[in-house]
A and B are shown apart, each in its own frame.
Chain A
Amino acid sequence: MRVSDTRHPGAAIPIDALARLARLALDDDERARHEADLARVVEMMAALASHDVAGVEPLAHALDATATLREDAVTETDASAALLARAPEAQGGYFIVPRVVE
């Protein structure tokens, strides 16, 4: 996923592209504040670049945990009614969203 931002060429932080990818609607004040904050956070992260990590295997998970398998058996009952009851809008066993197909 590319985050190049054509509306702000040269901007260090492609804030509009990031907001779009993150599905966050930002107003103008928020946009400016997050752009400035993120520039400082990224500057802090740059300390990582100054360290030699050649040949170091990335560590994704503490203690190098490996996934375990369980028996392929049904352990849960149908909870759809309880789950749909927690939806902001549901009808006839479905979640309701705005029309997605024109």
Chain B
Amino acid sequence: MSAGGGTSGPDRDLASLAADLAARATSARALAEASSRCAAALQPRLNALITATPELASSAADQVDAGRPGALAGIPYVVKDNYCTSGIRTTCGSRMLAGFSPTFDATVVARLHAAGALMIGKANLDEFAMGSSNENSHFGPVRNPWNLDCVPGGSSGGSAALVAAGAVPFAIGSDTGGSVRQPAAFCGVTGIKPTYGKASRLGLVAYASSLDQPGVLARGAADCARVLAVIAGHDPLDATSSTAPVGDYVAAAARGVQGLRIGVVEEFFGAGVDAAVADRCREALAALERAGARLVPVRLPSLPLSIPAYYVLAPAEASSNLARFDGVRYGHRSSRAGTIEELISNSRAEGFGPEVKRRILAGTYVLSAGYYDAYYRRAQQVRRLIANDFARAFEHCDLLAGPTTPTVAFRLGEKQADPLAMYAADVNTVAVNLAGLPAISLPAGFEAGLPVGLQLVARAHDESALFAAGGALQRETDWHLRRPPGASA
């Protein structure tokens, strides 16, 4: 289903697109139009966009063609529709915000715009980023370009599907418990969640504020590095954004893994992980070993507790964050509103979908008097144990590795009726958010025609190690360059 290839299409790596633009072999406008056309042609099959912005992309492209410089000048992209975009509707995949248009750009969007990147649309997602399959969107599910009967993963499903299908060379997602890495794995692309605080959350609509973090999806690690270099760095408007220096990620992606110690985490390969998925990941690790890395066995004994801890803490924060949606100041307002209580309760009942309600109720439960210590406080204590596990493991190695997901992409509807089965699929990703660490999902081969992802986790602020390993793996293998089969758009 690759549709944006060819000499003038957007489905190429960023270095070659930039070289063609510099040599005037193509123009920013031609790239923007090709990208928008491709996304529009894919829409009936993938449903990956909520709002297309072709005119905006073309007018930004004209400025680039007129000489406006920038690190990503003339490069088309999509942003997940939970990032605020000034004057362009920002729905969060929810009926609640179906008609909402923000007054400002998220910092991530503003930095991409300043770098000359061309936003061609807002990507579909699970409602308020709550989900692992992109089936929880008010605007309908996204489909996986590798198999239209399968989910693309979530919650950044639209972002991952459009990169995989070749409509854009990169996309912006957000990752609270795996929402960049899991769809990257399911769609066969590279996805990085940086260290908590590495990129600004200003204008990223809050789900769970102590876990949310912007992320990047692209075919290869080198392209993720180029984009992260643009969006990372302190933002005075986000008090939790880090003042730690931003590394030279592009150089890191080229430097290799000689002497790098990679810890193979026993628990990442634990119960529930499909044997074929585990095999593909071990083969990818063997490729990294051939490239000069050293593999060492490590343990994260508290990892099995990360699912219950996450599904206490994230809903607790969500129930608080989503209290702002009241039908008064913005968003959906019920017409059944005789009293202020009815206005708020009915607006929220009509505006939110089932999974969002489920998490709000769960969060309300664990924060209630009598339950707070048993669940919320205890989950925070377990969060400390998990962070300590990672710290101990990093005494013996530079990176930790395992499958991003226990299985390849599942079928649409397969887990919809069982929230716990859906939550269990997040077992290898949520612990990383609880500990605030950076992690990347790298294409690691295929099983039954569907992509497998290898997850690497690094110490806080050591994104460079992730890019070094990603670059090395992608010089040894070509899994990240495989395109979905089927007719072109």
B340 within 8 A of A: yes
* Distance A15 CA – B362 CA, assembled complex (angstroms): 10
* Distance A34 CA – B374 CA, assembled complex (angstroms): 21
On chain B, the residues within 8 Å of A4 by CB distance are 370
Are A49 and B378 in contact, with the CB atoms below 8 A?
yes
On chain A, the residues within 8 Å of B435 by CB distance are 62
Are A58 and B384 in contact, with the CB atoms below 8 A?
yes
Are B330 and A86 in contact, with the CB atoms below 8 A?
yes
On chain B, the residues within 8 Å of A63 by CB distance are 195-197, 436, 460
* Selected A-B contacts with CB under 8 Å, 13 pairs: A2-B370, A18-B361, A18-B364, A45-B312, A48-B309, A48-B312, A58-B377, A59-B384, A60-B210, A63-B196, A63-B460, A65-B196, A86-B329
Are B361 and A19 in contact, with the CB atoms below 8 A?
yes
Interface centre among B308, B346, B382, by most chain A C-beta atoms within 10 angstroms, is B308
B336's closest neighbor in chain A, by CB? A25
B338 within 8 A of A: yes
B148 within 8 A of A: no
On chain A, the residues within 8 Å of B272 by CB distance are none
Are A65 and B197 in contact, with the CB atoms below 8 A?
yes
* Distance A51 CA – B319 CA, assembled complex (angstroms): 26
Contact residue among B101, B197, B360, B365 (Cβ-Cβ distance under 8 Å from A86): B101
Q: Taking the nearest CB of chain A, how far is it from the CB of B463, in angstroms?
A: 14
Contact residue among B340, B358, B382 (Cβ-Cβ distance under 8 Å from A100): B340
Per-position binary interface string of chain B over residues 368-382, scored 1 when its CB falls under 8 Å from any chain A CB and 0 otherwise: 111100110111111
Contact residue among A33, A41, A49 (Cβ-Cβ distance under 8 Å from B362): A41
On chain A, the residues within 8 Å of B370 by CB distance are 2-4
A71's closest neighbor in chain B, by CB? B236
Interface residues of B in 295-311 (CB under 8 A from A): 302, 304-305, 307-309, 311
B488 within 8 A of A: no
On chain A, the residues within 8 Å of B240 by CB distance are 61, 65
A98 within 8 A of B: yes
Interface centre among A44, A57, A89, by most chain B C-beta atoms within 10 angstroms, is A44
Contact residue among B197, B307, B348 (Cβ-Cβ distance under 8 Å from A24): B348
B323's closest neighbor in chain A, by CB? A23
B236's closest neighbor in chain A, by CB? A70
Are B328 and A34 in contact, with the CB atoms below 8 A?
no
Are A44 and B357 in contact, with the CB atoms below 8 A?
no
A88 within 8 A of B: yes
Contact residue among B319, B333, B433 (Cβ-Cβ distance under 8 Å from A88): B333
B252 within 8 A of A: no
Counting contact residues on chain A (CB < 8 A from B), the size range is: 35 or more
Are A44 and B343 in contact, with the CB atoms below 8 A?
no
On chain B, the residues within 8 Å of A98 by CB distance are 337-340, 342-343
B371's closest neighbor in chain A, by CB? A3
Interface residues, chain B, with chain A CB atoms under 8 Å away: 100-101, 103, 195-197, 210-211, 236, 239-240, 302, 304-305, 307-309, 311-312, 319, 323, 326-333, 337-346, 348-349, 352, 354, 357-358, 360-362, 364-366, 368-371, 374-375, 377-385, 387, 419-420, 423, 433-437, 460
On chain B, the residues within 8 Å of A74 by CB distance are none
Are A47 and B305 in contact, with the CB atoms below 8 A?
yes
On chain A, the residues within 8 Å of B338 by CB distance are 98
* Distance A61 CA – B436 CA, assembled complex (angstroms): 8
B375's closest neighbor in chain A, by CB? A45
Contact residue among A21, A24, A59, A86 (Cβ-Cβ distance under 8 Å from B380): A59
* Distance A58 CA – B384 CA, assembled complex (angstroms): 6
On chain B, the residues within 8 Å of A24 by CB distance are 345, 348-349, 352, 357, 360-361
* Distance A53 CA – B381 CA, assembled complex (angstroms): 6
Are A51 and B360 in contact, with the CB atoms below 8 A?
no
Contact residue among B103, B329, B419 (Cβ-Cβ distance under 8 Å from A82): B103
Contact residue among A3, A21, A58, A86 (Cβ-Cβ distance under 8 Å from B383): A58
* Distance A97 CA – B344 CA, assembled complex (angstroms): 10
With A56-B385, A61-B210 known as contacts, the answer to whether A37 contacts B419 (CB < 8 A) is: yes
Per-position binary interface string of chain A over residues 28-69, scored 1 when its CB falls under 8 Å from any chain B CB and 0 otherwise: 001001100110111011111101010011111111010110
On chain B, the residues within 8 Å of A61 by CB distance are 210, 240, 436
Are A45 and B348 in contact, with the CB atoms below 8 A?
no
Are B384 and A42 in contact, with the CB atoms below 8 A?
no
With A38-B362, A63-B436 known as contacts, the answer to whether A48 contacts B357 (CB < 8 A) is: no
* Distance A24 CA – B378 CA, assembled complex (angstroms): 27
Contact residue among B323, B337, B384, B423 (Cβ-Cβ distance under 8 Å from A56): B384
Are B374 and A49 in contact, with the CB atoms below 8 A?
yes
A26 within 8 A of B: yes
Are B381 and A58 in contact, with the CB atoms below 8 A?
yes
Are B365 and A40 in contact, with the CB atoms below 8 A?
no
Are B384 and A57 in contact, with the CB atoms below 8 A?
yes
A11 within 8 A of B: no
